[in-house]
Structure 1
Amino acid sequence: MLKSMRENVKSLKWVLWLVVAAFVVSIFFIWGASGKLTGDDAGNTLAVIGRKKISGDDYLQALRNRIEAIKSQYQEIDRAFIEQLNLPQQVLEQLVEQTLLVEQARAMRLRASDEELRDRITSIPGLQQNGKFVGYEMYKRVLQYNHINLSEFEHSLRQDIVLDKMIRLLTAGLAVTPDEVWSDYQKASDSAGIDLLILETSKVSLDEAPSAAEVQAFFEARKGAYLIPEKREGLAVFLKAEDLKKEIELSEKDIENYYQANLSRFTNPESVRVGRIWLPFEGKDKALVEAEGRRVLERLGAGGDFAALARELSKDAKASGGGDYGFYDWQSLPQPERDEIHRLTSGQTSDLIAEADGLAVIRVTEKTAATTTPLAGASAQIRSILLDEKARQLADTRIAKIEKEAKSARSLETALRKAGLKGESTGLLKNGEAWSDNDPSGAVGTALFGLKEKEVSAPVYTYTGVGLVELRKVEAPRPAAFEEVKADVETALVNERKMETSRARLAALGRRLEEKNWEDIAARNGFEFKTVEAHKRDQYIAIVGESKTADDLAFTLPLNEASAPFDFETGTAVLRVRDRKTVTREEFENVKETQTAQILNQKKNMFLQAYLAKLKQEKGIQIKYDKFLQLTQDVLSRYESAKQ
């Protein structure tokens, strides 16, 4: 076995990838690279949860880990892609939840014993060979080979064990009934092929607009539905980072110092694309497999197409794609193959590479050397980063001074006058309503609803800058006067009449709905025709959306019979069922146990989310959003260009 393990050292990277994919990812992405929260330095604190802190370093490492994981799945990612996935906020939220869970586990005095740790290590799937643990020496070598600290990894495992215990205790009373399991199985398995004729109100024209009297009457009949929610008004001051950049002076030395201190950010790594032909032994005579490999090399030497030969002869997961391992997947290949890839130049093909279980032929199809953007080329980007950082720091300093003075004087206006600034009225805002271009996300509006009258907020951060707001006025919720909602009332009346028109037009089709070709009916009458091959319960339908009526019809309406017109949010539709597949109790019995476990896990997850939400309220989470934005900008600036 030791001989086999030594031979397999060349594939340790793949073994570790299994560990990472199945285990380390789930732990290290939750626990961070160090497996524990740091952050005793107050200046490095990003968030405070009760008496615990999350450091900026924890957040940076966790965000980088998450981005690297995504890079392993996608060849190209850029800043816009990362922001679209909302990764920074997800990572911060995960760190907060981690801290809450760890503290709660400590409060419950839960511990992980050495025996439990040993059992967890020996059960890691990636450290199994022929159904047995590979041994502690190999386990240590795997971690060492991949630059993972042993004590930190085992600390992460202990944390994971403790949380497993806590979750089991918290969710011990949860259960699912057989009826729940059967209903969920039906929802997931039943399907219906359906056709729809659709008429949206946006495509309906009215002969004339409603009169003023009709709009007034419509309002009077539904007066209770029109309410003005609570609104609040404040005095605010906002410092935009963009405006403050004009006050900042940067020297060429500042830019050069940043460049030298962050040189890795401006280095584009070597880019290599690889093709592979894999000939496994699979119990065959090794000499015969080697002879086959020599014939492959001869055919390639004679100008044979590598991709075609890979599709014909290769026996790995990439064979059907012409043996293409792309720019990234080849990094999971055994070490001897990776060594050969680094040696080859673009267009070169390797000799036969012997592995314990087969032979490989490698071709480097593309290779671009690593490059470093020179200082001159990076200067504009560095200037932008430094200006943004220094502008935010300047804004923070000024706002902190104003905040201190305002709370001392119990007046934001007094503090602003002393600073030579003028405040601005926010106007009446709903909770979370946007306030000017300074605050499109509604952070100021949200802050107002957390204040008492005359109270000054903590700094309010947005992507454009930072501000303060003092609550000046509260307007209680009340019934709306007609003039305040007149436009909304008219829109509602017009929409109702359009809905009536679309309903009548579909109903007028009558027996024509018995025709087989609804696509023709749609074309002749100005409707839309949609077909769904296998609609499942609660599934979204294009244009119609999620519709309980459509769901009920799909699974109750007789086949090939048209429904009566039914309304959805933006129009009216009729539906017919072409075919239907429903599962039986006998089929259900075969998957009942698996289905029960899945639903129970879903219940546990929902319970834990509710539990975490309650903990967040109780603990009072404070996040330094200026630091969050600054750190996020620091990481995302590396992904300004599309290809990494």
Structure 2
Amino acid sequence: MAKPNKWTLLRKRVIWILILLLVPPFILFFSGTGQAPPGRRRGSAGTLFGIAVPWEAYERQEAWVRRKVTDRVSGLSSGLVDQLVQQQIWRELLLLAEAKRQRLRVDDQELAASICRIPAFQQDGRFRPDYYYGYLRATGMGPQDFEGFLRHDLLIERLVDSVKASVALSDEDVRAAYEAAHERLRGLLFFFDPSSHTEEAEAAMTEEELRAYYGAHLEEIRIPDEINVEYAGASREDLTRREPPSDEELNAFYAEHEAEFLREDGTLKPLDEVREEVRRRVMDQKTRKALTVLALDLDEDLRAQRSFEEIAQTRALARRASGPVPIGTPWLPEGLPPDETQAVETLPEGAMSGVIETGQGVYIARVTQRLAARLPPLDEVRAEIRDRLIRLRAQDAARKAAGTLRARLNERRSAGLRFEEAFLAVGADPARAVSFTRTGAIDPIGAVPAVNTAAFGAPLGELTEVLETPGGFVVIRPEERLPADASKFAEVKDSVRQETLTRHQDRRVEEWLKDLEARANIQKFVEPPSAAGQ
């Protein structure tokens, strides 16, 4: 069953997680254009600190941010990308405005040094000007455009670094962080597994309950618009398997690039010593060339209005199918490249896409079927509803069992019994002896930070509230705090200092950004991304 409500919650979570990932400092380098879209609008896109943001500035920043976002994260629907891009545009414009207000600058020497450090423009750790200018030619960007955007990213980095620099740690702070991170809690854990209540829940299920659940969850059960997609093409992996480099090609590449395989003393490394690097570079050249040729061939086929079947057969392309795929699903089924689904989502049934070039391959795709949103009848989803109700019933039973045990133990304790006596009196299943830190995993529940926090926050000898975990419910009785081993502090002091500093800096930047956004009083005149495709 489709669950629109779940996707809504997931989209919100994804947006905020990705914004945190993309908060400066970051400098990304990739293929694409940073030029502003044609047909600029007049007026302003919004205001920052009461000052208008021209459409031209907004659109230029949008092009740059969109390429950074799409190259940093993949597999997202176009709707989610649009939301993330728009929020990140305003954050970067805000940070640039603040950098200007603080009169921060990046001089030409710093800019040149940054360009030389970009891995895409290096070979064996050395800057290659031909790589740089080749990149500019391939993307259609002039040096002035690229270096202007890069200068802005460096300004943002400098601004955020200045905020981080305001954070200081004392030796006492570092020691306290070490002690908190390595202090252990020893206690008893009561685990309540929902699976032990499955048979009971299954036996109690009735037809009336199935019908009642169906009627109360129609929107959750409703299946959204979907498409079936067929695609054909070649990936880098396909080409690597199909045409591995020959010994002749390896020897030729090695001979042509001998200067790149010299030792520090000037002697030439033998081919056997660098064979894997040579193989990788030859294969990279071959696949890039093959994908470029394939893209041109497919474009020619589409211009000639050849059918999907004819193109796939003529070009010896493997045909693959996937679906039904919900329109706008944030992550797509395994095997279906995200770029392809987003490229065909709006096509009518039977229509083909243009040539789709991704970082990993070249494809064409078509929609073989469009399925309108519908409400499936009860009989179609009966098994799913039944399984869900059984699972919910079993979870409720496990939660209730945990609460009952906790209440009975506390009742006996209030009557004056020691914990061991109360435990025997209620006839509870054996508890597990556990020992864990504030952030470490706990057997058998794994890593559930909320459980660690609750256990460390409970008084020794008392029971925590009933705590939910992915696998069931737990109640913990902390019995003893075991202090961190002071003798090992010196060994890890430097790493603890860096980890603690990074954590404090991130928190400081987050607080500073919230304050900056409030002071900027951002007004946006840009329409929010359409819900279509989300």
| TM-score where L is the length of structure 2 | 0.48
Determine which structure has more spread, i.e. the larger CA radius of gyration: 1
